[in-house]
Amino acid sequence: METRIPSLFARYNEIKQANPNLRIRDAAHELHVSEAELIEAQVSGTSFRLKPTFQEILESVPSLGHVMALTRNPTVVHERKGTYEQVSFSGHVGLVLGEDIDLRLFIHAWKFAFAVEDGRNTSLQFFDAQGVAVHKIFLQPESNREAYHKILNQFQAIDSDPIKVVPLPEKKEEFSDAEIDVQGFQKDWQNLQDTHDFFPMLRKYKVSRTQALRLAPEGYVHKVSLDYLTQVLQNVVKEGFEIMVFVGNPGCIQIHTGSIQSWKPMGPWWNVLDPSFNLHLNSAHVASVYQVKKPTVDGIVTSIELFDAQGEQIVQFFGKRKPGQPELARWRGLLQECLV
């Protein structure tokens, strides 16, 4: 380890000189290491390893006040400013239910934690066993720096062993359609009571998400285009009504609820650049787009869902709603109008 980190530092500086704007995640990809390993090597600023007491760290985060929460997957970055509120855990599942920052946390996927100070930003960063970021928290000018240093002092891991990342397990091949109880699956879909019941239904019938969309009951799924999504979101911006934007990875789902003021394509990157909410979507990675209907006790709930070439979900868009409330009539109408 004594020789690897200096070598990694030198290799990082070499590629940064060739491309000064290269982000650390992309540099990790070029160097065939994980982002967490680059963070540990302190290639860009100073990092402090934290104890993997994720629940206790997150329960302390509200003391930071106003921050920026960032959750991403390989295709999309979701950034939301606000305060962590109503942080709670049940086993390895956590919730943050603030008005601005709304998270679902799956702590079983979390492995490493760092505090990072790079001269421009101060952040808490969390990674999975592969060294891939699952969630990051960036301090803002108005954040409580004293609370940050208290978290650092309380949770810093002293004399910890170097991190060891492990390869991503091979993805299981999906069952063939002929092996699925399609009739039972479609019946259960039509009898859903809550959108949260959808994923347990997939596990029950051992279907992947994209396979489920292919086997859906007639009329519940429409394959659409990226142009369809653009048309919908341009109308959302124009009319100013509120939507929900879900972005996730195996360790975290982050949700924006509210209006969006902008939808700006910049080459392959499509962006929301609002004061409290930013979204950066690499449209080149999108392989399929669907309009999906799911029954609930409050009526049909309709989403737009994007997937990559591996069938991994990228992002979901819904009209704003809460349990006990029907779907926004304008959202449903807009989706139908753009479908024609």
Asked which of 12-26, 232-246, 292-306 is least confident by mean pLDDT, the reply is 12-26
Q: What is the C-alpha separation between 319 and 302, in angstroms, rounded?
A: 8
What are the domain boundaries of the chain? 4-82+110-155, 177-339
**Which class is 177-339 in CATH?**
alpha beta
Crossing angle of helices 198-205 and 182-190, in 10° steps, is 170
Element (H, E) at 60: helix 54-60
pLDDT tens sequence across 40-50: 988 878 999 99
* Alpha carbon distances (Å) from 340 to 78, 253, 303: 30, 31, 16
Q: What would the two tokens of residue 25 be? A: 């995640």
Q: Which one is the CATH code of 4-82+110-155: 3.40.50.720, 3.40.1570.10, 1.10.340.30, 3.90.850.10? A: 3.40.1570.10
pLDDT tens sequence across 187-245: 999 999 999 999 999 999 999 999 999 999 999 999 999 999 999 999 999 999 999 99
Q: Identical fold at 4-82+110-155 and 177-339?
A: yes
User: Considering the chain, what percentage of its residues have pLDDT values greater than 70?
Assistant: 98
Q: What is the C-alpha separation between 96 and 73, in angstroms, rounded?
A: 19
pLDDT tens sequence across 244-284: 999 999 999 999 999 999 999 899 999 999 999 999 999 99
pLDDT at 115 over 80: yes
Extract the runs of DSSP E, i.e. beta strands, from 210-251: 221-224, 243-249
